[in-house]
Amino acid sequence: MPARLSIDGESQSFEEQTLGTDFYKSDSGVVALKIDGELRDLATDLASLDGATVEAVRIDSPDGLNILRHSTTHVLAQAVQQIFPQAHLGVGPFIEDGFYYDFGNIDAVTPELLKDLEKRMKRIVKENQRFVRREISEDAAREEEKDQPYKLELIETKGSGSDTASVEVGHGGLTMYDNVNRKGETVWTDLCRGPHLPSTKYIGNGFALTRASAAYWKGDQNNDQLQRIYGTAWPSKDELDAYQTRIKEAERRDHRRLGQEMDLFSFPEEIGSGLAVFHPKGGIIRMEMEEYSRQRHVQAGYDFVCTPHITKGQLFETSGHLSWYKDGMFPPMHVDEERDADGNITRQGQDYYLKPMNCPMHSLIYRSRGRSYRDLPLRLFEFGTVYRYEKSGVVHGLTRGRGFTQDDAHIYTTREQMREELSSTLTFILSLLQDFGLDDFYLEMSTRDPHKMIGDNALWDEAEETLEEVAKASGLELVPDPEGAAFYGPKISVQARDAIGRTWQMSTVQLDFNLPERFGLEYTAADGSRQRPVMIHRALFGSVERFMAVLLENYAGAFPAWLSPVQARLVPVAEAFNGYCEEVAAKLREHGVRAEVDESDDRFGKKIRNAAKEKIPFVLIAGGEDAEAGAVSFRYRDGSQENGVRIESAVEHIERVIRERRNKPEEEKLEADL
């Protein structure tokens, strides 16, 4: 009987062996197959798939890019073993925009070695080696990999749940991939689950090695230290060039470099890794962010609260954090017991923890008195500083710290109100992000991890269904994130794209039926019964520090006028006009504008360059003609200039741009009637 199956939505039948490589031989963009949702090599026999649903996987699709990048890691590993035949192979997964491979028993990786490896990889690609999959028994795999200690460990841990093992070992059994040359000879082999490209020619010249670093086997500092080589791969050289251009632009926008250049913040070694201090100019930006957020929250009906930085460990036992999140918390501080003059214990010893979350304390505020359905929804909000014991390898400027301030809110509502409250919360979040100049969003839906959750499945079902309904009703694209939820409830994450197209996770909204249960929270319903509220966790900025970093990189340091530490700088063309500039600056300050006069000894041209380097929104120049006419000249950040602008018009325009929170550079320019 012929095999009947659906291929790309069309019914097909096959009476004899037909490989996917033959079926798609006229379409070089197809590199793999998705069979009933599972990725497989293109060289799969379609005649063996009776009843299956088959989809082509193109090289420029997300799955295709991952396969391209993983295949390129095999070429890299082959090149490494050409130089270091005794190299111990670790794992070589794809990652966002690229790949890496870990190696033991090789020399330190230098820039010169990376260049040599790239040349060797290009030769391997040109050889058009086929990636050939074969199944293998565990005993045979051990024999083949007897000189590879890390591969042997992966063989032993197959099926144990090891994330690292699952990268390289197929779930259905062990598989090897051989690189076969045109003569049919196997020139290299690796233990891997695949799938891979049909051959190395599909890699083309759209790849590059980017850097190297030290890494621990399986990410455990107690294991061997390895050399990790990173790279990137794209379907074409043009796409590689575009990516490298984006990377250079991202480096130019790096908030750590800009923060130092603009004197916004620093990370003193004396304080510790991941703990920032904000300088006066950075403090102004932070103040503006927080003040505007407070204003919007008051308008939206939130109540402000304040909670301490440390608490007894019992609180986090109640919430579940000590069971599920202890590795992310700083070690406890033990407070010894206290005794009176007679030696009697008046207080037992206690362990205190720096808080990693604000939600348990907000629940105590809710529980501090009786609540009625008339009190709900109750929206509690604070700028609460939290502390998390991040590993040193993941600490990254303001975007990943060990101490940071969350604009944290917890909303307590009835079951009947929760959909409307979730919808209005999401609308509020998007509106506030747009006020800061971000307007390109999609949503990510994180659902339960069955191995890391509290509460019963029925409540999780209801929570996930409710969140999904709200997310879809927003009209934004919704991307699934299976098993990405926190232990107490599912969440929606707002993902925002910045000025150069990068995606940042911004705000989160979590629906929680479990913590109200653990804290025994109740309210009196209209019928007099005692009911359990629903809890919504919501962080809008995520953290103030991280949000500032995102804005700093989005604007490349050129903050909108309303956020800029210095909003206007007066530059006299000569010292004789310092007094006139001070008069103009005083008028601006009267209207709440942060204005200053450059009275330094620098030459006029240097003063202009300094203002440009500091990304001042409005540079006002004044000389003799200006003083006589009661005017100034406007110089904008793009270098354009408007001359002879009356002081009153200048003050009015700057004040209006700031008050209206205009975020685009073109909106900062003088209106035609001025």
pLDDT at 420: 94
List pLDDT tens digits, range 530-588.
Answer: 999 999 999 999 899 999 999 999 999 999 999 999 999 999 999 999 999 999 999 99
The answer to whether the bond into 111 is cis (omega within 30° of 0) is: no
Give how far the C-alpha of residue 432 lies from the chain's centroid of Cα atoms, to the nearest Å. Answer: 19
Whether 371 and 522 have beta carbons less than 8 Å apart is answered as yes
Mean pLDDT of the region 23-36: 94
Distance CA 93, CA 137 (A): 23
Distance CA 424, CA 435 (A): 17
H-only helix segments in 519-591: 544-554, 578-590
pLDDT at 116: 97
Q: Can you say whether residue 105 is alpha, beta or left, with left for phi > 0 and alpha for psi between -120 and 50 degrees? A: left
Whether 522 and 480 have beta carbons less than 8 Å apart is answered as no
The first and second tokens of residue 310, run together, are: 């440390």
List pLDDT tens digits, range 53-110.
Answer: 999 999 999 999 999 999 999 999 999 999 999 999 999 999 989 999 999 999 999 9
Q: Which amino acid is at 49?
A: L
161 has pLDDT over 80: no
Whether 536 and 413 have beta carbons less than 8 Å apart is answered as yes
**Unique residue bearing structure tokens 């200690």:** 149
Element (H, E) at 192: none
Whether 152 and 146 have beta carbons less than 8 Å apart is answered as yes
**Residue 616: DSSP 8-state:** -
The backbone torsions φ and ψ at residue 193, rounded to the nearest 5 degrees and listed phi first, read: -90, -20
Residues labelled catalytic: 359, 388, 406, 408, 410, 491, 537
Strands 568-572 and 595-597 turn out to be parallel
List pLDDT tens digits, range 324-348.
Answer: 888 888 899 888 766 777 777 767 7
Measured over the CA atoms of residue 39, residue 42, residue 45 and residue 49, the dihedral's sign is: positive
Distance CA 558, CA 665 (A): 9
CA atoms within 13 A on the CB side of 385: 10
Distance CA 528, CA 516 (A): 19
Distance CA 245, CA 247 (A): 5
Element (H, E) at 519: none
DSSP code per residue over 492-517: EEEEEE-TTS-EEEEEEEEEESHHHH
What global pTM score does this model have? Answer: 0.81
672 vs 341, more confident: 341
List pLDDT tens digits, range 650-668.
Answer: 999 999 999 999 998 888 8
630 vs 219, more confident: 630
Percentage with pLDDT > 90 across the chain? 81
The answer to whether the bond into 198 is cis (omega within 30° of 0) is: no
Distance CA 7, CA 16 (A): 16
Mean pLDDT of the region 391-395: 82
Q: Which of 418, 507, 489, 478 is nearest to 447 (CA)?
A: 489
Whether 426 and 492 have beta carbons less than 8 Å apart is answered as yes
Contacts of 239 (CB under 8 A, 6+ apart): 206
**Please, what is the end-to-end C-alpha distance for the chain in angstroms?**
83
Percentage with pLDDT > 70 across the chain? 97
Q: Is 131 exposed, middle or buried (0-12, 13-18, 19+ CB in 10 A)?
A: buried
pLDDT band at 173 (very low <50, low <70, confident <90, very high): confident
Domains of the chain: 3-58 (3.10.20.30), 62-248 (3.30.980.10), 277-338+346-555 (3.30.930.10), 561-667 (3.40.50.800)
List pLDDT tens digits, range 398-426.
Answer: 999 999 999 999 999 999 999 999 999 99
Whether 508 and 485 have beta carbons less than 8 Å apart is answered as no
Strand residue runs (E) in 359-435: 378-387, 403-413
pLDDT band at 674 (very low <50, low <70, confident <90, very high): very low
pLDDT band at 290 (very low <50, low <70, confident <90, very high): very high
Mean pLDDT of the region 261-268: 94
Whether 413 and 533 have beta carbons less than 8 Å apart is answered as yes
pLDDT at 76: 98
pLDDT at 346: 67
Distance CA 236, CA 241 (A): 9
Length of the chain (residues) = 674
Whether 621 and 633 have beta carbons less than 8 Å apart is answered as yes
**Residue 25: DSSP 8-state:** T
Q: Specify which residues 55 forms β-bridges with.
A: 34
Count Cβ atoms below 10 Å from residue 161 Cβ, excluding itself.
8
The first and second tokens of residue 24, run together, are: 């798609």
Binding residues for Zn(2+): 359, 410, 537
**Residue 231: DSSP 8-state:** E
253 has pLDDT over 50: yes
Query: Mean pLDDT lowest for which of 105-114, 455-464, 529-538, 604-613?
Result: 455-464
236 has pLDDT over 90: yes
Distance CA 488, CA 351 (A): 24
Contacts of 73 (CB under 8 A, 6+ apart): 92, 93, 94, 99, 100, 101, 231
Q: Which of 602, 608, 605 is nearest to 570 (CA)?
A: 608
pLDDT at 160: 41
The first and second tokens of residue 492, run together, are: 């929606």
Distance CA 173, CA 70 (A): 19
Mean pLDDT of the region 618-646: 92
Whether 412 and 533 have beta carbons less than 8 Å apart is answered as yes
Q: Which of 313, 309, 355, 303 is nearest to 334 (CA)?
A: 313
Measured over the CA atoms of residue 384, residue 385, residue 389 and residue 391, the dihedral's sign is: positive
Contacts of 466 (CB under 8 A, 6+ apart): 418, 419, 422, 511
List pLDDT tens digits, range 265-285.
Answer: 999 999 999 999 999 999 999
The backbone torsions φ and ψ at residue 372, rounded to the nearest 5 degrees and listed phi first, read: -115, 160
pLDDT at 320: 86
Q: Which of 544, 596, 542 is nearest to 568 (CA)?
A: 596
